[in-house]
Amino acid sequence: MTKHSLRRLTLSAALLLSTALAAEAATFRWAATTDPQTMDPHAVNAAPVTSFLNNIYEGLVRRGRDMAIEPSLATSWEPLTGGETGWRFHLREGVKYQDGADFTADDVLFSYERASSEASDVRSWFAPVASVRVVDDFTIDFITKAPNPLFPDSIANFLILDRGWAMANGAEAPSRDVENFATRNTNGTGPFKLAKRDPGIETRLAPNTDWWDTREDNVTEATFTPIGNAATGLAALLSGEIDFISPIPLQDAEQVEGRAGFKVLSGLETRVIFFGFGHNKDALSYSDETTGKNPFQDARVRAAVAQALDVDTINRVVMRGKAVPADQLLPAGLSGYSEADTSRPAFDEAAARAALAEAGYADGFSFGLMCPNDRYINDEAVCRAAASMLAKVGLNAKLTAMPVRGYFDELRAGNYDMYLLGWSPGTFDAEHPIRFLAATPDGALGTWNFGGYSNARIDALLPLIQSEVDLAKRQAMLDEVAAILKDEAAYVPLYTEPLIWAMKESVTVTQRPDNFFMLRWVTVQ
Amino acid sequence: MWARFWQSDGFWLFRRSPAAMLAAVVAVLILGGALLAPWLAPSNPYDLRTFDLMDGLLPPLWQGGDARFLLGTDDQGRDMVSSILYGARLSLLIGFSAMLIASVLGVSLGVAAGYWGGRFDAVVMRVADVQLALPAILTALLIDGIARGVLPRELHDDLRIPVLILAIALSLWVNFARTARASTFVERRKDYVEAAIIMGQHPLRIMARHILPNILGPLLVIMTVDLAAAILLEATLSFLGIGLPADSPSLGTLIRIGMQFLLSGEWWILWIPTLFLVALVVSINLLGDFLREVFNPRLR
Amino acid sequence: MAYFILKRLIQSVFVMLAVAFLAFALFRFVGDPISQMTGVETTLADQERLREDLGLNDPFLVQFARFTGKMLVGDFGFSYRTRQPIGEMLLSRIPATLELGTVALLISLIVGIPAGVYTALRPRGAATQAILISTLVGVSIPTFVIGIFLIFLFGVKLGWLPTFGRGGTVQFGWWRSSLFTVDGWRALVLPALTLGVYQLTLTMRLVRAEMMEVMRTDFIRFATARGLPMRALHYRHALGNTMIPVITIIGLQFGGVIAFSIVTESVFQWPGMGLLFLESIRFVDIPVMGVYLVVIAFFFVLINLVVDLLYLAIDPRLRVKEAA
Amino acid sequence: MLVVENLTVEFPGRHGVFTAVEGVSMTVAPGEIHGLVGESGAGKSTIGAAVIGLLQAPGRIAAGSLRLGETDLRALTPAEAHRIRGKRISMIFQDPQTSLNPLMTIEDQLIETILAHEDIGGAAARARALDLLGEIGIENAAARIGAYPHQFSGGMRQRVVIALALCTNPELIIADEPTTALDVAVQSQVLALLRRLADTRGIGFILITHDIGVIAEITDRVTVLRGGRVMEAGATAQVLGAPTHPYTRALMAAVPRIDRKLERFLLPAVEGDLPETPEAADEAEYAANWLLSGLRHADSGPVLEISGLSVRFKGTRTSLFHAPEPFAALSDIALTVQPGSVLGVVGESGSGKSTLARAIVGLVNPAAGAMRFAGEGLPYGRARARSHPVRRAIQMVFQDPYSSLNSRHRIGEILAEPLKLYGIERDPAQRRRIAGAMLALVGLAPDAIDRYPHQFSGGQRQRIAVARALLARPSFLICDEPTSALDVSIQAQVLNLLKDLQARFGLTILFISHNLAVVRQMADNIVVLKSGRIVEAGPSEAFFASPQHPYSVELLSLTPSLALLDGAA
């Protein structure tokens, strides 16, 4: 189902497909803002790490150019039958690790144990899993507590280690605080192997010559350098020292495009940027006028906020028209996105003022607006723009923009009245944001629902959604949740973040909405 | 008093130093512009209502911009002229207060250390070493952190400027301390101080009434130099991400914001504030040089 | 002599401890490492457990004691971010910063001292005024602007020099040097310049001021009265006597250079301690920040010591006096 | 050899052109020592600088001619002039402490200088340097030549300076106050050396000094200068023996005589001083009465008794294991001062004179000994309470009037300070009144009260310092070299003032000086200090008549006697 719906996201990718024909061998140097902090696939669940390691390790399933789930170390999979809920995976035979060891079901079991251990940062993926059973060397069952239609999708980044190798090098458990062998060494089944690891400075990859799949890339050596400073990175590209960089600042896209020998690849990420409110606060923390009550508890006020924001102009000026306005907590096109109602509140200052008046705030009020200034693209600028728009309907935001390093703590501590947040669903499915953002916080669920938004109906629907196998029924429930969130204006979705890659003309890559950079699709003329 | 000033050697030298006079003019202009910003500036860049995203990224007038915005607008549609005037106001506020705090702290410690010497002196100087070992950015983080830790939440936003000032002051006081200490060592041995000691005057009184006035010269020079340094430091800190919020920009913050547009073609957002900052800092430094000459007759 | 050095070393320990303490006092305020170490999907319970295991819930003093205690036995602990042993991380970064700082310093001396002498000897010359003003402008532009500007001028527009990194490096044991390859030097030029501008101006003005003073002393007038050749007069007699204050300031400044390399390194993606430190702040990598600071403090102490020893080398009056 | 004709030197400055030297003519023959004498501002140093071509900017020679042998010095290009320096004209500066490069061994400095002018090998140069050092009287030169300047004593250093001036065999040497910074003993040796060099080597000297004694001692000819003009010139014996010009007479009259005690010096009025008007007299009278009303004379018994007083300074620690040698500045000093008397303390620099004063006023902590003031035990420095009455009773006048007054305070504030501090006078207006009167008493115009120290001459400042001391109504006054920084005529004024005050108010004074002649003018009793110990003590007249201790004898013999002046005054 993902296939057709993701088309608009991956238009660019499709176009490039045609040119992606293997040419003569080439070395490839690329850069990104952050260095993958570890080479251990289970130690940290962060995009830079998972993205990078997907070039070295492989999972049972993987995502294709169009994000669709396709066979990887598992050749096929089907739901378990006979009373048991769960999935059976048939593993690929004859796959060898880069050190020559054979890949078997036992490694999957080991990797499962490792990845679901306490020291692992990805164990939440396996929350639904009751147990894992090795049927034979190349068959393995994942028994889930409840029916779980999307389980295979949810473990696309569950990367497999070799038990023997891990044991031999004392890397049985993920390195959480003290490094172990797996922190700087790898032994995957993937298309590339680690040639040199110099944390924070340079990481070099070499093709894995006896990879099971057919190569589409022509990279003979790939060097990755983290470059924190955007301008520096761009300079490095323009001076020809690197072949590819991601991301580049929006405002520079045009310039790079204009230059001979360079091109820009811009698509959409799966991250939606939105405003959240302190639903569970009985009083605003940073207001001068309104004391003792919290206007944002009133849906009309939240709706007014949505109407007061001219997202199109924000997009045009701040985001250089590269973003796409969003109406839900996940971008249109992802699985479970509610097609039932894709409208978003129109920009209408008058209406906003009216709504405020009706709610009893005719002459507005002031409040504290929290924003990160180094997390999302132009996040601070967006907040400033939004603040000035809100001011025009009498909502005087006191903007605090801070580095992400302390941001989430501030939010957890409730030091805001309204805040900016971006969400990218790890499973690329509508259930993900509901689980983390809409469910009433209880320690396990709603862990990122800082405002403590709570709706009984949604809480009731979530488990059903998670276990519903019939996609039509499931979608109906998702639509209902989406509708509730929209009427209550629980959050104010702004736009889907753009994804801007810049590279030399000679380079061909495939851009996926999950912002993973896959070397196996890179060709250099 | 005025009479004394008019025919003071300083003023005489001043009239003979074109550089100093030019610098003074520039400094006075900027200072005036900054102080009168609320009346001079076409709009108030802090008042979110006054500007419109629609006017974003307009080039300066001579590049076919909008008549309302002489120097164009930034990505928020803020009038550059206003931003710069208010920004200079803020930078100068921060610079001056930081410099004053630093000088008060440094001079009092330095004079005391120079006067008493011995253990107290040793301690102060070691503390100075520690201070030097902490990069300014760290001091800033430290103060910021402590402020956040100690003070009630709702104060935090109003705190950013004081925090910045304090941080900068703390990374500058050592200069004052060292200089004051050195000069005090010299004065301390002079007869007029010993006379005061013999008379049995209180040490604090001796330091304040007798020594301090006699070491002001070199300190004044450092003040100007450090004023410039403070303004630059503020810019650097905001580049490192611990400066002021972008909705109340200082010159430094403006430049930091402008950096994003280095390549994108909107050059004015970066270079106009930068030029302004340079003009300000250079003129302050030139005045510093001039003072150095005045207070060091041997250099005439 | 021995006594003097010993005294300094004792003081240095004090300084380093103080810095470590300060540093530690601040960490708790930088942010929460846990939220940086874990992914979005990690449950609060798991986060809490990690916090407990890292001992972040212990009282501040306990943490500090643990930190220093380990450090005293040479165990610098592990980075929260990369999980690497910190000692190793720093060792791999220190050479970069030291080489950068040293070259910057050399530039500032090689250019600054002659310029200072020249401007001192011709105080009213047009060239002098030009030099003074231009250097002033140089130090009035924020470092990061200069850096980026140089990058785009020489890296992108002219394509003469690399825009980031250290270029070719040669490994000597743990010391990775970029001073032995042309490539390395090309990579070194821009950052060193950026970092050196300030030093250069400072050195020049200092030498100038001191020169102008020394030129008015009796012994210079006496030397003139003896008809000594001008260069001997200027360089051997005058310049020599300006060195004490100059060295003092330079010494202090070198510390400043190392501390300030933070900005330059982040602009040029120079893999030194400063860059590491910035990354650590962004990531609330407490142990790394702590060790970094202690190391910086150590450098300061070392530099102060060297400066004092240089005094002795330069000025016979400071050496232990023989009976006259 | 050197012929200067109506030389005029001008300094264009902020307040128009200042003429430092006007129409001065003089000559110096080989082997002749030509003295330039005059008080500060007389332009004597300027003449020297003009001759060697080292006038400080913006000074310039406006008129006149300078000829050295056949060479017209004014016609030389800067380069040529520079070649002449050292080669034919050389110079000796006042302060040996500052005129040698502290960072180079004297060997290097000598050889460097020689090689700069002569194309001989380094070895030859070194040999010459050694001979020279020997000649100017530095024992085992071979060993000392490698030393640094700071390793020589003042006198030795001045010899090295002379050696440097000599090493190029110049025809003319300009010696600018070559002995002012030296002790009498050393002074006479250096002077003797200069004389010898003139006689043996036939070098011509221009000897610039303010000290008539020096002139009398060694010069052949002398030129008396004042305000840049020649007052009188001629052969020394003739000029000093029978001065024709009133200024010369006044100058000589002002010179304290070691061979007799004058009641008062007669001297020319100095501008800026108080004209003898009745109002002024009333003012002075008022101050006098105020003083008398407050002065409690220490009734019977000595004012100050000191016994077994020792002061030690601890040396700088250089080793971990050996504690540094303490240096004994004063050891076992015992003396008593009777009320209304003046005790003179004499000794060379480093003899501990000043330390004694500082110990009494509590600036330094004695290691041992007892001090009794007016019968009361006197606590040691640090133990002495700030409010201790003795802090008022004992006042001090310092050597350097330029540093003893806070240049940032108005005279009024400076004078009012003791009145305020000791609570002598509560009412500010009254304080000002008294301060003004006191100024009159020390002979300064009333408007002085609103001016700043830098607006006064050295002598006037010193009188202000005295006034400040008196305003505390002290019963004991310590004068530490009060006149040694002053010109003779000024010195004479200050000495007169002190004499008057002493006579009128029966002040008890401890008078410290290195200059025996000066002490003789003031002291009733004498104490001679040598390296921290008292070598001789007794009544002044007896002492000068027949000194007992050999050291005293030596001191007296070395002080330039002005016997040949007896014709005058």
For D128-182, the pLDDT digits (tens) are 899 888 888 888 888 888 888 888 888 888 888 988 888 888 999 999 888 887 8
Q: Identify whether C81 is part of a domain.
A: no
Does B189 have pLDDT greater than 50?
Answer: yes
Any idea which residue has 């060993």 for tokens?
Answer: D143
Q: How would residue C137 be classed by pLDDT, with cut points 50, 70 and 90?
A: confident
Same domain for D165 and D175?
no
SS3 string, A122-160, reads: CHHHHCCEEEEEEEECCEEEEEECCCCCCHHHHCCCCEC
Q: Are C244 and C74 in contact (CB under 8 A)?
A: no
Domain boundary among C44, C72, C100: C72
Any idea which residue has 């960072």 for tokens?
Answer: D103
Neighbours of chain A (3+ CB pairs under 8 A): B, C
The contacts of residue A489 (CB under 8 Å, 6+ apart) are A299, A302, A303, A305, A306, A345
Q: Identify whether D164 is part of a domain.
A: yes
What is the rounded average pLDDT of the residues A483-507?
A: 94
Most C CBs within 10 Å: which of B16, B17, B123, B132, as the mutation test of the C interface? B132
Q: Identify whether C85 is part of a domain.
A: no
Does A4 have pLDDT greater than 50?
Answer: no
Pairing of strands D326-337, D342-346: unpaired
Of residues B142 and D52, which shows the higher confidence score? D52
Q: Are D507 and D479 in contact (CB under 8 A)?
A: no
Q: Does A183 touch chain C (CB under 8 A)?
A: yes
Give the pLDDT of residue A7. 42
Same domain for D397 and D329?
yes
Around C246, how many Cα atoms within 13 Å sit in the side-chain half-sphere? 28
Whether D152 sits inside 8 A of C324 (CB atoms) is yes
Same domain for C133 and C31?
no
Same domain for D541 and D552?
yes
Neighbours of chain B (3+ CB pairs under 8 A): A, C, D
- Residue A318 DSSP class: I
Neighbours of B297 (CB within 10 A): 9
Same domain for C25 and C167?
no
Residue D10 forms beta bridges with which residues?
A: D19, D60
What is the rounded average pLDDT of the residues B181-210?
A: 88
Give the pLDDT of residue A18. 39
B284 Cα to chain D: minimum distance (Å): 26
Same domain for C275 and C155?
yes
Around C236, how many Cα atoms within 13 Å sit in the side-chain half-sphere? 16
Give the pLDDT of residue C322. 36
Distance of CA C237 to the CA centre of its chain: 30
Q: Are C224 and D89 in contact (CB under 8 A)?
A: no
SS3 string, chain C, reads: CHHHHHHHHHHHHHHHHHHHHHHHHHHHHHCCHHHHHCCCCCCHHHHHHHHHHCCCCCCHHHHHHHHHHHHHCCCCCECCCCCCEHHHHHHHHHHHHHHHHHHHHHHHHHHHHHHHHHHHHCCCCHHHHHHHHHHHHHHHCCHHHHHHHHHHHHHHHCCCCCCCCCCCCEEECCEEECCCCHHHHHHHHHHHHHHHHHHHHHHHHHHHHHHHHHCCCHHHHHHHHCCCCHHHHHHHHHHHHHHHHHHHHHHHHHHHHHHHHHHHHHHHCCCCHHHHHHHHHHHCCHHHHHHHHHHHHHHHHHHHHHHHHHHHHHCHHHCCCCCC
Give the pLDDT of residue D320. 54
Q: Does B76 touch chain A (CB under 8 A)?
A: yes
Instruction: Please name the residue ranges forming H helices in A332-441.
Output: 349-359, 379-391, 404-412, 431-433
CA distance A154 to A148: 10
Does B299 have pLDDT greater than 60?
Answer: no
Q: Does A184 touch chain B (CB under 8 A)?
A: no
Chain D residues with CB under 8 Å of B201 CB are 386, 421
For A294-313, the pLDDT digits (tens) are 999 999 999 999 999 999 99
Give the pLDDT of residue A16. 43
Give the pLDDT of residue A367. 92
Q: Identify whether D268 is part of a domain.
A: no
Q: Does A18 touch chain C (CB under 8 A)?
A: no
Which candidate from B12, B192, B194 shows the least CB-CB separation from D363?
Answer: B194
Neighbours of A320 (CB within 10 A): 22
CA distance D25 to A519: 97
Burial class (CB in 10 A: 0-12, 13-18, 19+), A40: buried
CA distance A15 to A12: 5
Chain B residues with CB under 8 Å of D418 CB are 199
Give the pLDDT of residue A432. 92
Q: Identify whether C179 is part of a domain.
A: yes
Q: Identify whether D320 is part of a domain.
A: no
Q: How would residue C323 be classed by pLDDT, with cut points 50, 70 and 90?
A: very low
Same domain for C67 and C115?
no
Same domain for D399 and D498?
yes
Chain B residues with CB under 8 Å of C142 CB are 232, 235-236, 239, 252, 255, 274, 277
Same domain for C183 and C223?
yes
Same domain for D122 and D180?
no
Does A226 have pLDDT greater than 60?
Answer: yes
Which candidate from C40, C43, C84 shows the least CB-CB separation from A199?
Answer: C84
Residue D55: give its domain's CATH number: 3.40.50.300
In this prediction the ipTM stands at 0.80
Chain B residues with CB under 8 Å of D417 CB are 199
Q: How would residue C100 be classed by pLDDT, with cut points 50, 70 and 90?
A: very high
Whether B142 sits inside 8 A of C25 (CB atoms) is yes
Most A CBs within 10 Å: which of B156, B264, B269, as the mutation test of the A interface? B264
Most C CBs within 10 Å: which of B227, B278, B287, as the mutation test of the C interface? B278
Same domain for D113 and D246?
no
Q: How would residue A95 be classed by pLDDT, with cut points 50, 70 and 90?
A: very high
Same domain for D159 and D10?
no
Reported pTM: 0.82
Whether B202 sits inside 8 A of D387 (CB atoms) is no
Which candidate from C225, C232, C314 shows the least CB-CB separation from D103?
Answer: C314
Task: Please give the backbone phi and psi of residue D140, each rounded to the nearest 5 degrees, phi first.
Answer: 20, 65
Own/partner pairs, B218-221, CB within 8 angstroms, 24+ separation = B218/B179, B218/B183, B218/B295, B219/B103, B219/B107, B219/B176, B219/B179, B219/B180, B219/B183, B220/B291, B220/B295, B221/B288, B221/B291, B221/B292, B221/B295
For C150-160, the pLDDT digits (tens) are 998 898 888 89
Q: Identify whether D260 is part of a domain.
A: no
Give the pLDDT of residue A12. 44
Give the pLDDT of residue D297. 58
Q: Does A229 touch chain B (CB under 8 A)?
A: no
Any idea which residue has 């006044």 for tokens?
Answer: D250
Instruction: Please name the residue ranges forming H helices in chain B.
Output: 2-6, 9-15, 18-35, 37-40, 80-116, 118-133, 136-150, 156-188, 191-199, 203-205, 212-239, 251-259, 267-295
Domain boundary among D140, D169, D198: D169
Task: Please give the backbone phi and psi of residue A268, each rounded to the nearest 5 degrees, phi first.
Answer: -120, 140
The contacts of residue B15 (CB under 8 Å, 6+ apart) are B21
Neighbours of B74 (CB within 10 A): 31
Whether A45 sits inside 8 A of C41 (CB atoms) is yes
Domain boundary among C42, C72, C102: C72
To which H or E segment does residue A63 belong? strand A61-63
Q: Identify whether C80 is part of a domain.
A: no
For B74-120, the pLDDT digits (tens) are 877 888 888 899 989 989 999 999 999 999 999 999 999 999 888 88
Same domain for C36 and C121?
no
What is the rounded average pLDDT of the residues B10-14?
A: 73
Q: Identify whether C43 is part of a domain.
A: yes
Q: Does C222 touch chain D (CB under 8 A)?
A: yes
Q: Which two tokens stand for residue A157?
A: 């980044």
Same domain for D186 and D160?
no
Residue C277: give its domain's CATH number: 1.10.3720.10
Number of separate domains in chain D: 3
What is the rounded average pLDDT of the residues B178-199?
A: 87
Domain that includes residue C124, residue range: 91-318
Q: Which two tokens stand for residue A161?
A: 């280690």
Q: Identify whether D216 is part of a domain.
A: yes
Q: Answer whether D touches A (≥3 Cβ pairs < 8 Å).
A: no
> Which is nearest to A437 in space by CA: A493, A373, A476?
A493
Same domain for D46 and D103?
no
CA distance A157 to D468: 91
Q: Does C297 touch chain B (CB under 8 A)?
A: yes
Neighbours of chain D (3+ CB pairs under 8 A): B, C
Same domain for C153 and C194?
yes
CA closest to B216 among chain D residues: D408
Reduced to 3 states, what is the DSSP secondary structure of residue D226? Answer: strand
Q: Which two tokens stand for residue D123?
A: 């070895």
What is the rounded average pLDDT of the residues C61-78?
A: 85
Domain boundary among C72, C103, C127: C72
Q: How would residue A409 be classed by pLDDT, with cut points 50, 70 and 90?
A: confident
Whether C45 sits inside 8 A of A229 (CB atoms) is no
Does A251 have pLDDT greater than 60?
Answer: yes
For A99-134, the pLDDT digits (tens) are 999 999 999 999 999 999 988 989 888 988 999 999
Q: Identify whether C138 is part of a domain.
A: yes
Same domain for C164 and C261?
yes
Own/partner pairs, A425-428, CB within 8 angstroms, 24+ separation = A425/A270, A425/A330, A425/A334, A426/A154, A426/A157, A426/C40, A426/C41, A427/A150, A427/A153, A427/A154, A428/A2, A428/A67, A428/A153, A428/A270, A428/A334, A428/A335, A428/A513, A428/A514
Same domain for C48 and C140?
no
CA distance C261 to C195: 7
The contacts of residue B54 (CB under 8 Å, 6+ apart) are A313, A317, B77
Same domain for C55 and C96?
no
Give the pLDDT of residue B289. 80
Number of separate domains in chain C: 2
CA distance D563 to D542: 20
Same domain for D407 and D516?
yes
Give the pLDDT of residue B157. 65
Neighbours of A4 (CB within 10 A): 9
Reduced to 3 states, what is the DSSP secondary structure of residue D167? Answer: coil
Q: Identify whether D48 is part of a domain.
A: yes
For A150-178, the pLDDT digits (tens) are 899 889 999 999 999 999 999 999 987 78
Beta-strand runs (E) in D202-293: 204-209, 221-226, 229-235
Same domain for C7 and C137?
no
Q: What is the pLDDT along chain D (569 residues), one digit of tens a residue?
A: 899 998 999 988 777 788 889 999 999 999 999 999 988 778 888 999 899 888 887 888 988 899 988 888 888 888 888 888 888 999 998 888 888 888 888 899 999 888 888 888 888 999 989 988 888 888 888 888 888 888 888 888 888 898 888 888 899 999 988 888 788 888 888 888 899 989 998 999 999 998 888 888 889 999 999 888 999 999 998 888 888 888 888 888 888 887 778 777 766 555 445 556 777 778 888 888 888 877 665 566 788 899 999 998 876 655 556 666 778 888 999 999 988 889 999 988 888 888 999 899 988 889 888 898 888 888 887 788 888 888 888 999 998 888 888 888 889 999 998 888 888 888 989 999 999 888 888 888 888 888 888 888 888 888 899 999 989 888 899 999 888 878 888 888 888 888 888 888 888 999 999 888 889 888 999 999 998 899 999 998 889 888 889 998 888 887 766 655 554 33
For A37-48, the pLDDT digits (tens) are 899 999 988 888
For A432-443, the pLDDT digits (tens) are 999 999 999 987
Give the pLDDT of residue C284. 83
Give the pLDDT of residue A169. 94
Same domain for C45 and C103?
no
Any idea which residue has 């004597």 for tokens?
Answer: D44
For C279-289, the pLDDT digits (tens) are 888 888 888 88
Of residues C216 and D567, which shows the higher confidence score? C216
The contacts of residue A402 (CB under 8 Å, 6+ apart) are A370, A371, A372, A373, A410
Q: Identify whether D273 is part of a domain.
A: no
Neighbours of chain C (3+ CB pairs under 8 A): A, B, D
To which H or E segment does residue D26 belong? strand D16-28
Measuring CA to CA, how many Å separate A138 from each of A76, A100, A134?
11, 18, 8
Give the pLDDT of residue D269. 53
Chain D residues with CB under 8 Å of C236 CB are 104, 112
> Which is nearest to A176 in space by CA: A225, A230, A228, A115?
A115
Q: Identify whether C97 is part of a domain.
A: yes
Residue A141 forms beta bridges with which residues?
A: A88, A133
Q: Identify whether D234 is part of a domain.
A: yes
Q: Kindly give the interhelix angle for C286-314 and B118-133, rounded to the nearest 10 degrees.
A: 120
Burial class (CB in 10 A: 0-12, 13-18, 19+), D29: middle
A405 Cα to chain B: minimum distance (Å): 11
Domain that includes residue D469, residue range: 279-312+325-377+388-568
To which H or E segment does residue A479 belong? helix A471-487
CA closest to B145 among chain C residues: C29
D103 Cα to chain C: minimum distance (Å): 6
CA distance D274 to A24: 106
Same domain for D56 and D152?
no
What is the rounded average pLDDT of the residues B139-156?
A: 71
Give the pLDDT of residue D98. 84
Does A2 have pLDDT greater than 50?
Answer: no
Q: Identify whether C8 is part of a domain.
A: yes
Which candidate from D14, D385, D406 shows the least CB-CB separation from B192?
Answer: D406
What is the rounded average pLDDT of the residues C291-297?
A: 85
Same domain for D175 and D238?
yes
Whether D156 sits inside 8 A of C240 (CB atoms) is no
Does A477 have pLDDT greater than 90?
Answer: yes
